[in-house]
A and B are shown apart, each in its own frame.
Chain A
Amino acid sequence: MEGIDRADIVIGVPSYNNGRTIGHVIAAAQAGVEKYFPQFRAVIVNSDGGSTDGTREAVLGTGLNKEQLLLMTTPLFPVHRLSFPYHGIPGKGSAFRLIFQIARQLDARACVVVDSDLRSITPEWIDLLLRPILHTGFDFVGPYYHRHKYDGTITNSIVYPLTRALYGMRLRQPIGGDFGISRRLIGRYLTRNDWETDTARFGIDIWMSTIAIAEGYRVCQSFLGAKLHDAKDPGLHLSDMLHQVVGSVFRLMQEYEPVWTSSTGSQEVDLFGFRYGVGLDPIEVNTERMIAAFRRGCEELGEIWSAALSPETYAAIRRIGARNPGAQDFSLDDDLWSQVVLDFAVAYKKQPVERAHLLRSLTPLYLARIASFVRETRLLGSDEVDERIEHLCLAFEHKKPELIRRWNNKPEPASHQPRRVESTADSKLRMEV
């Protein structure tokens, strides 16, 4: 940091063994700054979690072919590149914390964070994530991508519908990983004292998005095109990621209870950038294995699910689990899935079982939902899949009054009809019988 006393822009790139892709990300970020913000002082910060594959060397050594950039204006200041190992709990959140601390130290007006495994990042991403903050006064810019219909499944099946239903903002990628943040919001993040929780790991993205929305900061999103990236480290287990992200959502639900219990419906979030269609990497999904994992959960995790879920929801889940394993009509529909997630949210608050157990026991149910979604959308195009996701969001929004009632331990109204928790496949089965 010697010789750098202030900066207008900080671009943060958290990494852990991303030597293969980070060079491209750093080059794109530098090109973005030099091309779109030549009058600003910028620093690119790599916050590394102890990579052993030459990630840090790639950050410091990647060259940028400026002859190909065709810059309209010569940059006034050189773009500095820094790479630091962060300390504390290993995870993306800890890496972000270091980036934000540096941004504050340099008194940066805005900070952009981008994932280090991106293959589709272009210099325009930096412009799209920074410009709404520097020129339009927004505090938080979320990403809006085109993704394969089976990519971003935690976002599509839990985080987006739940966040939208709770806080009433249709921020499409609340855990996208690529954000623009204002100085004001960075200051707010750094004053928080929950950095040592799941926030230090994969909970960071939803933590940032939720704070921005729930505390009334100006939030928008920018269309970035396609999101193509390396697959996550296979060593990272789904259960860990799922429980960190969902745990963060539930924990913040407790903190922002007055905010979400008083809002209804949802509204669009301003979207910057020109939307266009893109090609995407195909993704193969093995639904048989997912269904097998769900059935195993049905057989073994009854004691936890029966405590976490309402009796009707649990009965419906048991019925699906008891179905013929080879059944082609396997389905965990929107209504039942939204009920499962909201039951887990209530259970997280009331703690009939340990929270860590509760969150990890969600994995087989989540896999069942993904298997069901994949089977139902196998032949659908991206627009039709978006409609399905919209339908799921509406199911979450529809159940919000019931969530509030159960969250606050209020009795069921006399006129309340029994919930329909039976899956579509259940109805079909009954008709056949």
Chain B
Amino acid sequence: MLGLLEQIIKQAVERISSQILTYVPGLLAAIFILAVAWVAARAVRWLIIKIFKGITFDRFLKRSGLSSIIDTAGRLQTSQVVAKTVYWIILIAGILVALNSFNSDLSSRLTEMAVFLFPKLVAAAAIIVAGTWIGRYFGRTTLIWAVNEGMPWPRKLSAFVRALFTFGGIVAAADHLDFARDVFLAAFILVVGGIVLAASLALGLSGRESVRNYLHEGKGTAEENADDRPLWRHL
């Protein structure tokens, strides 16, 4: 009985020892890789902040409106956000390499997936940022135009234009990632179709008025009344 117990314990210890001997080198390698990745990530973050500070990168981003995508209040420095993003990318890459050092199926699959997805994720993120930036630009253009033209609800119009472009960016990104492609595409088509219908109705209704004026009064458009005249006369 005691012999059997001793044998079982001995086998268990041997198994654990064998497993430890199998995994320890990998673990040590993983720890080393992680440490190197962490140091590299910190160094790169420091470097990015230093370099972009020197060439007034933040001012450029602020001017172009890209920084307001990240922080509308404008307190956040975009170069720091970029530096932090790069920091985490390096760190995650380090973790993946470290996992791969265990040489297991799971770690290999994880690494493969990450390597395969990474460029697509970056491209999708760039598409969303571009869509947001374009939305912001045209939103502001719409706001100023609506104010100068005396249109009702300028802010809502501006927000709508902004949302439309941002949504367009999200649809394109989803399409790029093959993520719920049909859902986003169908929603986008519905929104654009709705806009076209609304615009057609608006044009049709105003055109009907012009045609009526033309037929009844012999004028292409309604006679300018006092409120329609330009606010100024000449340069």
B229–A234 touching, CB < 8 Å:
yes
- Does B144 have its Cβ within 8 Å of any Cβ on chain A? yes
The answer to whether B150 and A293 have CB atoms under 8 Å apart is yes
Tell whether A360 pairs with B148 under 8 Å between CB atoms, given A300-B154, A352-B62: yes
- CB B219 to nearest CB in A, in angstroms, measures 13
Per-residue CB contact flags for chain B residues 192-235 toward chain A (1 = under 8 Å, else 0) read 00000000000000000000000000000000101111111111
Q: Is the CB of B144 within 8 A of A357?
A: yes
Q: Could you tell me the distance between the alpha carbons of A234 and B230 in the complex, rounded to whole angstroms?
A: 6
User: Could you say which residues of chain B place their CB within 8 Å of the CB of A361?
Assistant: 144
A393 to chain B, nearest CB (A): 18
Interface size classification for chain B: 20 to 34
A residues less than 8 Å from B42 (CB atoms): none
Q: Which of B65, B144, B146, B232 contacts A238 (CB 8 A)?
A: B232
Interface positions of B from 127 to 170, Cβ below 8 Å from A: 137, 140-141, 143-150, 154-155
Contacts of A301 in B (CB 8 A): 143-144, 147
Partner of B145, one of A238, A304, A352, A360: A360
B contact residues around A354 at 8 Å (CB): 65, 137, 140
CB <8 Å contact, A155 and B235: yes
Q: Are A296 and B150 in contact (CB under 8 A)?
A: yes
Q: Given the complex, which residues of B lie within 8 Å of A153, measured CB to CB?
A: 232-234
B13 smallest CB distance to A (angstroms): 71
Are the CB atoms of B230 and A297 closer together than 8 Å? no
Q: A296-B147, A357-B140 are in contact. Are A367 and B234 (CB under 8 A)?
A: no
Would you give the shortest CB distance from A210 to chain B, in whole angstroms? 15
- Which single member of B143, B148, B233 contacts A363 (CB below 8 Å)? B148
In the complex, what residues of A have CB within 8 A of residue B230's CB?
231-232, 234, 236-238
Q: Which residues of B contact A367 (CB under 8 A)?
A: 231
Shortest distance between the CB of B103 and any CB in chain A (Å):
54
Flag the segment in A30-38, A79-87, A282-290, A416-424 that touches B: A282-290
A:231-256 near B, CB below 8 Å: 231-232, 234, 236-239, 241, 245
Shortest A231–chain B CB gap in Å is 6
Tell me the smallest distance from the CB of A238 to a CB of chain B, in Å.
6
Q: Is the interface of B mostly helix, strand, loop or mixed?
A: helix
Q: In the bound complex, how far is the Cα of B149 from the Cα of A361, in angstroms?
A: 12
Question: Contact at B140–A231, with CB atoms within 8 Å?
Answer: no
In angstroms, Cα B137 to Cα A19, docked, is 40
A234:B145 contact, CB within 8 angstroms: no
Choice from B140, B145, B234 contacting A151 with Cβ under 8 Å: B234
Cross-chain contact B144 with A151 (CB below 8 angstroms): no
- Complex CA gap A238/B137 in Å reads 22
A291 to B: closest C-beta gap in Å: 11
Residue B63 lies at the interface, judged by CB distance under 8 Å to chain A: yes
Q: Would A283 and B141 be within 8 Å (CB), given that A237-B148, A296-B147, A296-B150 are in contact?
A: no
Contact call B144/A370, Cβ cutoff below 8 A: no
Interface presence of A64 (CB below 8 A):
no
CB distance from B217 to the nearest CB of A (A): 18
In the complex, chain B residues whose CB is within 8 Å of the CB of A290: 231
Cβ of A91 within 8 Å of any chain B Cβ, yes or no, is no
- Distance (whole angstroms) from the CB of A250 to the closest CB of chain B: 16
Give residues of chain A (113-160) contacting chain B, Cβ–Cβ below 8 Å.
150-155, 159
Nearest Cβ on chain A to B89's Cβ, whole angstroms:
31
How far is B231's CA from A283's CA once the two chains are assembled, in angstroms? 11
Separation of A352 and B58 alpha carbons in the complex (Å): 11
Given contacts A354-B137, A357-B144, contact A231 B233 (CB under 8 A): yes
Give the chain A neighbours of B229 by CB distance below 8 A: 234, 286
Q: Which residues of A contact B149 (CB under 8 A)?
A: 237
Is the CB of A351 closer than 8 A to any CB of chain B? yes
Selected contact of B155 from candidates A239, A300, A351, CB within 8 Å:
A300
CB pair B144 A304 closer than 8 Å = yes
B55 → chain A, closest Cβ, in Å? 16
Give residues 44-72 of B contacting A (CB, 8 Å).
62-63, 65
Interface presence of A175 (CB below 8 A): yes
Q: How far is the CA of A236 from the CA of B147 in the complex (A)?
A: 16
Q: How far apart are A270's CB and chain B's nearest CB, in angstroms?
A: 23
Partner among A293, A300, A352 whose Cβ is within 8 Å of the Cβ of B231: A293
Contacts of B144 in A (CB 8 A): 301, 304, 357, 360-361
When distances are taken between beta carbons in the complex, the residues of chain B under 8 Å from A289 are 227, 231
Given A286-B226, A293-B150, the answer on whether A229 and B232 have CB atoms closer than 8 Å is no
Q: Which of B98-122 contact A (CB under 8 A)?
A: none
Nearest chain A residue, comparing its CB with the CB of B155: A300
Can you show 18 pairs from A to B with CB atoms below 8 A apart?
A151-B233, A152-B235, A285-B232, A293-B147, A293-B231, A296-B147, A296-B154, A300-B143, A300-B154, A351-B63, A352-B62, A352-B63, A353-B140, A354-B65, A360-B145, A360-B148, A363-B148, A370-B232
Q: With A289-B227, A354-B140, A363-B148 given, can you name 15 additional A-B contacts, CB distance below 8 Å?
A: A155-B235, A159-B235, A231-B234, A237-B148, A238-B230, A285-B231, A285-B232, A286-B229, A296-B150, A296-B154, A300-B143, A304-B144, A354-B137, A357-B144, A364-B148
- Contact surface of B with A, Cβ cutoff 8 Å: 62-63, 65, 137, 140-141, 143-150, 154-155, 224, 226-235
Closest 9 pairs between A and B when the two form their complex, measured CB to CB: A239-B148, A360-B144, A154-B235, A351-B63, A363-B148, A300-B147, A300-B154, A234-B230, A175-B235
